[in-house]
Structure 1
């Protein structure tokens, strides 16, 4: 074969040169057709690992025992291990995992880090660098204005005032130099980080392209470091204060420059990850909440959720989910696919409607007015649902026999997390069907457990943070929460049906106040819009009331 054309030739069996061999020996690095596999395995002087060609390189050699191939992954040691490793006492009692599954998980993590660095982290740093460049461009103009103001003022004075003029010009130049040096330093730091991020991207792409198991196993994510943006340095421009000309105390009345003010603050950017929740400005609660709008739907409603600040979805005691403008105009009606009554509704980050159908044990999504089944359960019945800041769905569900209850987090149709028991193995939730659910800005998961007469809050790992069972200073009946929502301050609002009011808790479960002055009755579902206006669904009246409370 002409060596100049060999790179264009198809893969061939290393024993018989049959084109496109489907097998590969990971220990000998030999391509094999099916007919030659047996011949290759007959060589008993070596340990062989024949795999489909697409899986070549997925079985690493043991770093401890020469010539041995690894078949498992030790969870405690976080290392691939061979059969000889397993006979040693070093891994005794350790958990063994499927090596191929571990490699797939690692590659997914690498791909996720690569996507974050390429699509989120690097663009943010580049945006900061562009902002600094714009500030530098404007710097000369701003300082020139200051210098001109000083010179103009100086021309109105006598010759002796030139000493003051020259002194203040010098001060300006010094501050300008310092200002520029600060910006250059910040720019260089940002560009250095950008360089590191881009190099990291290149390295990750090389790992994924090489399919090198050793590199993949040794990979440690640096994304946490890059997510933490550096503090932004704010340098306030000096001001020149004009003074009327007077013969007395020339130095004082000529005008003075303010000092170069240098402060730091967080960048006005957010990374779209669950860890990066921006801190909103503090909004005090109103002494007297105000009813600012009412929508009369004409049917009994149990859930309400915001599509935007001007549009809300509702569902109630029939099979129709309805979209209203805030003025009460009906914009759209969607019938459930099964014809059953939905238990609850939510709106995803992309603006799609999600609803639960206990009759068919499904969670469904409405895209372009077409209903798609996202989740179908067996042995469990879904009831309430909410969409999280990361785009996942939280679903409350009860077992068929109503003996167990849990919260499950889904990414699409994939189950990511189950929350059912506390650290002592006791159930977190009652077995009742009604459990409205909401995610807080601090990523806590808040459940209004009607039957347990409690608001149960766990953190994002599922660990119990607190259980609120009622504040009885003015309440006359037992606390029985229905709807629940959270606002920009991470405050928790829950509908107290028995006492016809809304209770507001802080993020740590401390009672703050009631909303009980807006003629509320038969309260069910709650939600807040982006302006922290509260929307309350009144089941019996069929009204949605909009309340300003902050």
Structure 2
């Protein structure tokens, strides 16, 4: 292999192209061997050649050529005129009294400026654009999922319409069959009567014929005809068919009845993205910081309450919690002081079945026996939803401001989740893709709780089924969690309270095993929270991802830290 063309070869002299490089001209940026140094020096004697060892190359500053005096190098700089100067420029009168600096000083200042800009580009600008690109990519992925969910919602709504239309068609067809059978039975009865009369008439004719043919005067004289009876012909029965008047299908009206899709938009906000800084803030970033589970969860605070039985707990803030138990009063407590701040009594005087706090800080509660969902604003209770044939169980407020309510039918044979915007029903979730119920039928004894995860999944603790049922935003079943083996006390999984955290973990209270289960957003078991709990019932989490556990019998709420 020719060493001059091999990729593994050493560098060669730029002049002879044979000898190994040993020297370098910093002025001309030429590699030289020792034999060619002299040849290069005399090649252009107008230039002050700076020849150094190859290892010390580029160590000699290359001063710029003067634009006025050709081949003169500028070692000074006029700050007033903002131009480099050679020695000939300095002795001229043009720059008398001007502020001058050495070119090397200007070079150092410029290098410092470049280094600052380079550092900003590397440490601030580039990472910021990377984050923005990642955020756009995440938004695109989220958009794909959400549009998929939207299509699923529309498809499911269409299937609901098809089922209702099929039911309506079958109902109308059944009515048509019933009308037809009724009229056919009436006509058949009428026909039977006429046929009997015809048979009687034939018998009468035969009797008269026999009398006419007889020579027995007494027999002929004794014949009495029933012709008067037959002269009165039966009434004519004409059936009247029902008319079917189809409703006019008008595209616009049908669209309004089925549901209207709002327009989409893309907004551009010049203040939406901001440059990263070296100071880190908890608010920074579009996704929450990743937190690891503690090896041993620890109790932070224990608050005692005056209920005989303690059911529900809901965080108003990191300092205040709403609680409710076996009476009609809902109480707001200070976490740090453990003192009562406020009491609200239900409108009906019934025990609240479940409580939640909205994004705006209002208290929501369900009244199972009154069949209502109510909201407390400024200590005044407003009835938001009144159900007719259903009884509300659990309730939660979503990130979009909707209310999700899990409810049972009056006959306790059906259960469903309904999404409300205010008092308007937006979505019903009741069956899976195979038409089977998602939630078990139940009675007032079995409680249901509901929450929305950070990924917008809808999570229900179904105590009768012994399962946590999780569906996506469109109502499609994602998974059922039925507990973990081995259970802490080897008892069947019995979920009651349910909540989620910033990591999309799902936490549910297991009253049989006196613990809280933590599973991930895909239903995989992560760990138990024990902390000497006694019949844990209600759950909620605060903004610090601490969980509050309402214990049924010992009248305590424990605040537990389980994330780092």
Q: Normalising TM by the smaller chain, what interval?
A: 0.5 to 0.7
The answer as to whether partners of 1:232 and 1:267 remain within 8 angstroms in 2 is no
The answer as to whether partners of 1:231 and 1:266 remain within 8 angstroms in 2 is no
What is the aligned counterpart of 2:293 among 285, 289, 299? 285
Determine the C-alpha separation between the residues in 2 that align with 1:290 and 1:173: 52
Determine the C-alpha separation between the residues in 1 that align with 2:538 and 2:328: 17
The answer as to whether partners of 1:441 and 1:487 remain within 8 angstroms in 2 is yes
Superposition deviation, residue 229 in structure 1: 8.9
The answer as to whether partners of 2:487 and 2:513 remain within 8 angstroms in 1 is no
What is the aligned counterpart of 1:525 among 516, 538, 547? 538
Partner of 2:478: 465
Determine the C-alpha separation between the residues in 1 that align with 2:544 and 2:282: 22
Determine the C-alpha separation between the residues in 2 that align with 1:532 and 1:267: 13
The answer as to whether partners of 1:307 and 1:351 remain within 8 angstroms in 2 is yes
Runs of at least 5 residues in structure 2 that lack an aligned partner in the other structure: 1-100, 133-251
Superposition deviation, residue 350 in structure 1: 1.1
Superposition deviation, residue 328 in structure 1: 1.6
Partner of 1:502: 516
Structure 1 segment 101-180 matched on structure 2, within 5 A: 165-174=105-114
What is the aligned counterpart of 2:347 among 337, 353, 377? 337
Superposition deviation, residue 171 in structure 1: 2.7
RMSD: 3.3
Say if 1:396 and 1:474 are closer, same or farther in 2 by CA, change over 3 A.
closer
Secondary structure of the corresponding residue to residue 171 of structure 1: helix
Superposition deviation, residue 519 in structure 1: 1.2
- Kindly provide the CA deviation profile for residues 119-140 of structure 1, in whole angstroms up to 9, marking residues without a partner as x: xxxxxxxxxxxxxxxxxxxxxx
Determine the C-alpha separation between the residues in 1 that align with 2:301 and 2:275: 44
The answer as to whether partners of 1:229 and 1:267 remain within 8 angstroms in 2 is no
Give yes or no for the alignment of 1:492 onto 2:506.
Answer: yes
Determine the C-alpha separation between the residues in 2 that align with 1:234 and 1:534: 32
Give yes or no for the alignment of 1:315 onto 2:328.
Answer: no
Secondary structure of the corresponding residue to residue 167 of structure 1: helix
Determine the C-alpha separation between the residues in 2 that align with 1:220 and 1:346: 29
Say if 1:176 and 1:391 are closer, same or farther in 2 by CA, change over 3 A.
same
Partner of 1:538: 551
Superposition deviation, residue 470 in structure 1: 1.2
Partner of 1:362: 372
Superposition deviation, residue 267 in structure 1: 13
Determine the C-alpha separation between the residues in 2 that align with 1:468 and 1:521: 22
Structure 1 segment 332-411 matched on structure 2, within 5 A: 332-411=342-421
Say if 1:497 and 1:392 are closer, same or farther in 2 by CA, change over 3 A.
same
The answer as to whether partners of 2:449 and 2:498 remain within 8 angstroms in 1 is yes
Determine the C-alpha separation between the residues in 1 that align with 2:557 and 2:381: 25
Partner of 1:297: 305
Determine the C-alpha separation between the residues in 2 that align with 1:386 and 1:306: 12
Determine the C-alpha separation between the residues in 1 that align with 2:450 and 2:404: 8
The answer as to whether partners of 1:490 and 1:506 remain within 8 angstroms in 2 is yes
Structure 1 segment 183-198 matched on structure 2, within 5 A: none
Partner of 1:198: none
TM-score normalised by length of structure 2: 0.53
Say if 1:514 and 1:235 are closer, same or farther in 2 by CA, change over 3 A.
closer
- Kindly provide the CA deviation profile for residues 462-492 of structure 1, in whole angstroms up to 9, marking residues without a partner as x: 1111111111134311111111000111101
- Kindly provide the CA deviation profile for residues 294-337 of structure 1, in whole angstroms up to 9, marking residues without a partner as x: 11112111110011111110111111111111122011111111
Partner of 1:242: none
User: Which of the two has higher C-alpha Rg?
Assistant: 2
Determine the C-alpha separation between the residues in 1 that align with 2:321 and 2:397: 15
Secondary structure of the corresponding residue to residue 223 of structure 1: coil
Determine the C-alpha separation between the residues in 2 that align with 1:495 and 1:424: 30
The answer as to whether partners of 1:396 and 1:407 remain within 8 angstroms in 2 is yes
Secondary structure of the corresponding residue to residue 509 of structure 1: coil
Say if 1:512 and 1:220 are closer, same or farther in 2 by CA, change over 3 A.
closer
The answer as to whether partners of 2:508 and 2:516 remain within 8 angstroms in 1 is yes
Determine the C-alpha separation between the residues in 2 that align with 1:236 and 1:524: 44
The answer as to whether partners of 1:534 and 1:548 remain within 8 angstroms in 2 is yes
Determine the C-alpha separation between the residues in 1 that align with 2:302 and 2:281: 39
